[in-house]
Structure 1
Amino acid sequence: MNIAILGATGHIAKNLIKGLSATKHYQLNLFARSTERLSAFLKENNISEQIHICDYEQFQQEATYDAIINCIGVGNPQDLVQNPFSVFQITEQYDNLILQYIQKKPATVYINLSSGAAYGSDFEAPATRDKILNLNVNNLTVKDYYGIAKLNMEAKHRSLHNLKIVDLRVFGFFSSYIDLESKFLITEIIDHVQTGEILYTSSEDIKRDYVHPEDFLQLVELCFNKNIKNDVYDVYSRNPLSKFEMLNYFADEHGLKFEIKVETAYASITGSKTNYYSNNDNAMGIGYQPRYTSLQSVRDGYQQFRMRNNDENN
């Protein structure tokens, strides 16, 4: 299969490149704004066979792709605060580029990385197939923008119902390639493990879902099926993970020091998300069966993270 991956230096994209290149079944055409960063990643991971490094000007000129994977997005929530318009601009620019391509070549499968934020910012309960979006349209704030951009993209894709477009709503993803500068709960925990400083947190427990890279790869490969239908699937692990389960794991296994402070609260830039995961398991309909729990994903990812950083420091 001839596959194009856009946003090839992103966190999830790096895992897909590593997983897909290992099978030797794919020709990967990798698009990135920084070909230098991409080349460094490929060299670090000894990935060289059946790889083409491309810039975006080449996208429309290349040979026919069997599948296109869109991994472009605002990966760091802090970037959304500093430049909120960018989430709309970047999302539209590259999505429209791909849509122009597949309208000319409708046999191509388009796999787009969407987000659980498409459900909105209300996650007092996890997402379900019947979840209703609540949106105060006369008082939109930064926490709404990301989800609106993703929902708009999904709506465009459903309107093109004759094309093979699949949106994968990612709620959480962790691996050794995570950017520690990104502002997430798990990166904050890792930062405090490394510095030895005490992490202060509230008594409120929250739940997160971290899909394992191997499970995500399984789902993506299921979407390569030439008979795939235009649809959207939530991405989930075998079991989500609570904040205190994660804190206790890092405390027991990696020496994290944390204390509960009543006035301390973890605030997500994209809204208060007490239960940010999904019980919508319609991906089972195409054969998706996750093997790993969120705790296993965190454990494996952090072990690989430590190995990678030890190698870099030696």
Structure 2
Amino acid sequence: MTKPNHRIAILGATSHIAKGLIVGLAAAGHRLTLFARSPERVRGFLVLAGITQQVPVLPIEGFCEGSYDVVINCVGIGDPGKLREKMSSIFRVTEHFDNLVLDYQGRHPATLYLNLSSGAAYGQDFYEPVREDSRACFDINHLGMGDYYGMAKACSEAKHRALSGRPIVDLRVFGYFSRFIDLETKYLMCEVVTCLKRGEVFVTGSGNIMRDYVHPDDLVALVECCLEHPELNEAFDVYSLKPVAKFEILDSFTTRFGLKVRIEGDVAHVAPTGNKDNYYSVNRRAARIGYQPKYSSIDSLLVETEVLLK
């Protein structure tokens, strides 16, 4: 039986995650309409990605005028460096675009809303990976910059659950890496790949961390699972087949690509949303709707880096 081709609007089409979704969902035959503050950048990406079918690319201001089966909200500040600079605006940006989609859904109640949320919605307590019974943890009397991003995501999710009669799914992404990433952004893997491309030594601290990097194909597969259950009002943690430790990444990249590494005890990679020793989830609730990732974190990193280095 042929799967239906959905009319899908993607907001924030210039974002890293959006690019992988665009490629995967276009390949699956869905009819996409893309919205961005810089439509010309999206059109340039479509050419580079080899997407030849007609894909309308419009300013975000024109979003409310169309008709869609699904809306995917990828709007956000994806660069940790910029996030630190614009932390005070994260609430307004998040709420503005969330309300834009919710208002649209109010006029089109059958439209499924998929919101790209974050593992940061759990707060900053990642001494252990999160589980299905984990609770969000924010020190409400001593809020700091590391709390704001996660609180903005948690507030959106709470609003979505309060609208229990609407089809809304929040997808909490903990880690994502693809050939479409902007290597200028301040992520661990961007630094690693940049060192490889330049032949430089990657310098890191002696502490280990655990991360989970979902492959673009697996995230598309999870979106497809949600499309098959358009009645859902739910939140799902996004996970790969297996998380990966920092030193496993470095060992694999040394073996595969010849990465040069130097360990210095006083070097730390601090995220603007707080320190996260075990930033991943063992909550497998998404399996209930048929999600079965195919890639482990290390496989995702190796496959996508291979393309980046070319």
Calculate the TM-score normalised by the size of structure 2.
0.96
Q: Distance in 2 between matches of 1:239 and 1:180?
A: 24
- Equivalent of residue 35 in structure 2, options 31, 34, 39: 31
CA contact under 8 A between 1:168 and 1:235: conserved in structure 2?
Answer: yes
* Aligned-CA RMSD value: 1.1
Match of residue 107 from structure 1: 110
Letter in structure 1 aligned against 2:207: E
- Cα shift at 1:59: 1.1
Q: Distance in 2 between matches of 1:212 and 1:197?
A: 26
Q: Distance in 1 between matches of 2:90 and 2:145?
A: 10
Residue by residue over 1:141-167, the C-alpha shift from the partner in whole angstroms, topping out at 9 and shown as x without a partner, is 111111000000000100000000000
- Cα shift at 1:17: 0.7
Q: Distance in 1 between matches of 2:272 and 2:230?
A: 38
Match of residue 19 from structure 1: 24
Aligned residue pairs, count: 305
Match of residue 263 from structure 1: 266
Letter in structure 1 aligned against 2:56: H
SS of the residue aligned with 2:75? coil
SS of the residue aligned with 2:300? helix
- Cα shift at 1:46: 2.2
Match of residue 14 from structure 2: 9
1:53 matches 2:57: yes
- Equivalent of residue 187 in structure 1, options 185, 190, 194: 190
CA contact under 8 A between 1:77 and 1:183: conserved in structure 2?
Answer: yes
Q: Distance in 2 between matches of 1:45 and 1:191?
A: 21
1:95 matches 2:81: no
CA contact under 8 A between 1:163 and 1:230: conserved in structure 2?
Answer: yes
SS of the residue aligned with 1:51? coil
SS of the residue aligned with 1:117? helix
CA contact under 8 A between 1:80 and 1:142: conserved in structure 2?
Answer: no
SS of the residue aligned with 1:28? strand
Residue by residue over 1:209-248, the C-alpha shift from the partner in whole angstroms, topping out at 9 and shown as x without a partner, is 0001111100001111254310000000000010001011
Match of residue 311 from structure 1: none
Residue by residue over 1:270-295, the C-alpha shift from the partner in whole angstroms, topping out at 9 and shown as x without a partner, is 11101000000000110000111001
Match of residue 170 from structure 1: 173
Letter in structure 1 aligned against 2:10: I
5+ long unaligned stretches in structure 1:
308-314
Q: Distance in 2 between matches of 1:80 and 1:51?
A: 30
Match of residue 121 from structure 1: 124
1:76 to 1:296, Cα distance in 2 relative to 1, 3 A: same
- Cα shift at 1:197: 2.3
Percent identity of equivalent pairs:
48
Residue by residue over 1:7-40, the C-alpha shift from the partner in whole angstroms, topping out at 9 and shown as x without a partner, is 111111111111111122x111100111111110
- Equivalent of residue 243 in structure 2, options 225, 236, 240: 240
- Equivalent of residue 156 in structure 1, options 151, 155, 159: 159
1:47 to 1:140, Cα distance in 2 relative to 1, 3 A: same
SS of the residue aligned with 1:96? helix
5+ long unaligned stretches in structure 2:
1-5
Structure 1 stretch 49-58 or stretch 208-217: which is displaced more? 49-58
Structure 1 stretch 29-38 or stretch 223-232: which is displaced more? 223-232
- Cα shift at 1:196: 2.2
Residue by residue over 1:252-310, the C-alpha shift from the partner in whole angstroms, topping out at 9 and shown as x without a partner, is 11121112212222212211101000000000110000111001100111112123xxx
Q: Distance in 2 between matches of 1:71 and 1:160?
A: 20
CA contact under 8 A between 1:19 and 1:214: conserved in structure 2?
Answer: yes
Match of residue 231 from structure 2: 228
Letter in structure 1 aligned against 2:51: I
Q: Distance in 1 between matches of 2:55 and 2:245?
A: 39
Q: Distance in 1 between matches of 2:229 and 2:222?
A: 14
Instruction: Give the 5 Å matches for 1:295-310.
Output: 295-307=298-310
- Cα shift at 1:180: 0.9
Calculate the TM-score normalised by the size of structure 1.
0.95
